[in-house]
Amino acid sequence: MPSSMELAARLSGVVSAQQEMLSVLNDPQQVMQLAVNRTPDVTNSAGAVVELAEGDQLVYRAASGPAARHIGLRIPIDDSISGSSIIEQRPIRCDDVDLDPRVNSAAARMIGIRSLIVAPLMHGEKAVGVLKTFSHKTNTFDDLDTYTLQLLAGMTSAALMEAHEIRARQASEERYRMLFERNVAGVFRTTLDGRILDCNDALAAYLGYASREDLLKREVWDLYHQRTDREKFLEDLKNDRAPTNRRLQLKRKDGSSIMGLVTASLIPADGGESQVLGTMVEDS
């Protein structure tokens, strides 16, 4: 049994690694590299590897120690102890790779692995890879090392999920911004109470404003001759939710009128209040 001091030291190392991961959550590769860099420190190993499942193979996507030279190495899932860990969704310790038929002996010899522990990386209910720590000596690891690696794998799994979600949001935001900036139609996003949250230069030009920044200083109510026109549009939008090519008479900056064809939708927003997302072209 490990002493309370040993357990406290291991937990302290895991917490320290977790805090470091928080600073790189926007980059999945940095999360994986941090995991393999810190794993040897807290499991007393020669190096570590993150292997991710791709089809019927596991691919070395991040590594430290002597395994760092083998980034990109591929091994069959069904011919590796890492694959067993994924299938069984549990950590596995191997004290002597020469005595364990589950170990991919070719990969082990290439890196000089004599003993190892693998723990699954989870994405929800599915194992998508493993975190592996290894040694050049047999019988290196004990139950505390296995427990520590399991904690690190769980922490890495959560960080990778968050990192991928952040990347997905960033990609979505970039596509959203491209829609705004490159659309020849006027594009807008507003609140129900009249704040203009975003728009593009095309909308500003239609309405006679010098730039989108100029238009963003205004409220939606400034774009209607009558407040009741906006209120009627919102009422129709709530009933239809996605009207197409609705003819609306709007007010330019100089007070003149423009007849616009508006297509809009109510979209959910943070806090539960809906927002209006739509496009407008001049009805000529």
User: Where does CATH 3.30.450.40 sit in the chain?
Assistant: 4-167
Q: Is the pLDDT confidence value at 181 over 80? A: no
Q: What is the pLDDT of residue 110?
A: 94
Calculate the average pLDDT of the chain. Answer: 90
What is the tens place of the pLDDT at every residue in 105-155?
899 999 999 999 999 999 989 999 999 999 999 999 999 999 999 999 999
Whole-angstrom Cα distance, residue 24 to residue 92?
28
Give the 3-state secondary structure of residue 112: coil
- The correct answer on CATH 3.30.450.40 for the domain covering 4-167 is yes
CATH code 3.30.450.20 region(s) in the chain: 174-282
Is the domain spanning 174-282 CATH 3.10.520.10? The answer is no
| Apex 28 CA angle, 10 and 52, nearest 5 | 80
Is 211:229 a contact under the CB 8 Å cutoff? no
List of residues 6+ apart from 130 with CB closer than 8 A: 50, 51, 58, 82, 85, 86, 118, 119, 120, 121, 153
**Nearest CA to 86 among 111, 60, 118?**
118
The pLDDT of residue 2: 65
Q: How many of the other CB atoms lie within 10 Å of CB of 283?
A: 13
pLDDT tens digit string along 192-251? 999 999 999 999 999 999 999 999 999 999 999 999 999 999 998 888 766 788 899 999
Q: Got the DSSP string for 183-196?
A: -SSEEEEEETTSBE
Of 5 and 54, the structure prediction assigns the larger pLDDT to 54
Task: Please tell me the pTM assigned to this model.
Answer: 0.64
199 burial (CB, 10 Å; 0-12 / 13-18 / 19+) is buried
Is residue 40 over pLDDT 70? yes
